[in-house]
A = this chain, B = another copy of it.
């Protein structure tokens, strides 16, 4: 068995869905062992149940610290034998507690071409800035927001008549493609972190590499 994935989501979890499907059809050598949420109403939990995956809810205790919260999250994930934590629309910042429990094994996706447009509402931010391209970024998580070493990025154009919704939809399509791809690279042991860079060990000649896909708009 490959990756033992624990997925954490606060909301709808469409990226979770793409990962569940990729595990099922073999594009990811791994299995989602538990889906955890801070939000008992998260649709991601429904997706898990439909796929026959156990769920766990760890609600935020406003009197406790974020570290206290992550101690419970780690305990829940460990209970299921998780070795890889996949954030799929998780709205809480993770702490050192979670990161130390799964070193270089906490992954996130962000709907922009980092370092451009970290944070929230980034589709509208990219449009308002007047950028001609945006995209998405799968990255290892560190203690800062949207800042860890980048595994894969994908690029999409921003069109003159885009809204946050149309751009977001175009980006989401790429998210559903690159998140499973990044996890498969991890499953294959092909990712090497050097400083801030993530280098990809070649699998077989010519695979997975797009040379000079230069585009402009």
Residues of A within 8 A of B (CB): 113-117, 127-133, 135, 149-150, 152-157, 159-160, 170, 173-174, 177-178, 181, 195-200, 209-217
Give the residue name and chain of the B residue nearest to A177 (CB): B216
Could you say which residues of chain B place their CB within 8 Å of the CB of A170? 212, 214
Tell me whether A150 and B174 are in contact in the complex, defined as CB-CB below 8 angstroms, given that A160-B200, A210-B216 are known contacts. no
A-B contact pairs, 30 of them (CB 8 A): A114-B131, A115-B131, A116-B116, A128-B197, A130-B150, A130-B197, A130-B198, A131-B150, A131-B153, A132-B152, A133-B135, A133-B153, A152-B217, A154-B215, A155-B155, A155-B215, A155-B216, A156-B212, A156-B214, A157-B212, A160-B199, A170-B212, A170-B214, A173-B214, A174-B214, A209-B217, A210-B217, A213-B215, A213-B217, A215-B215
Number of copies: 2
Q: Are B214 and A128 closer than 8 Å at their CB atoms?
A: no
| Interface residue from B116, B157, B216 paired with A115 (Cβ < 8 Å) | B116
A112 vs B115: C-alpha distance when bound (angstroms): 12
Identify the 8 closest CB pairs spanning chains A and B, nearest first: A154-B216, A213-B215, A132-B153, A130-B197, A130-B196, A116-B116, A130-B150, A160-B199
A152 vs B217: C-alpha distance when bound (angstroms): 6
A210 vs B200: C-alpha distance when bound (angstroms): 29
Q: Are A133 and B156 closer than 8 Å at their CB atoms?
A: no
Contact residues of A: prevailing secondary structure: mixed
A215 vs B211: C-alpha distance when bound (angstroms): 10
Could you say which residues of chain B place their CB within 8 Å of the CB of A113? 113, 116, 131, 133
A108 vs B150: C-alpha distance when bound (angstroms): 29
A9 vs B23: C-alpha distance when bound (angstroms): 54
Tell me whether A129 and B200 are in contact in the complex, defined as CB-CB below 8 angstroms, given that A157-B213, A212-B156 are known contacts. no
Could you say which residues of chain B place their CB within 8 Å of the CB of A174? 214, 216
Could you say which residues of chain B place their CB within 8 Å of the CB of A209? 217
Interface centre among A131, A150, A181, A210 (most CB of B within 10 A): A131
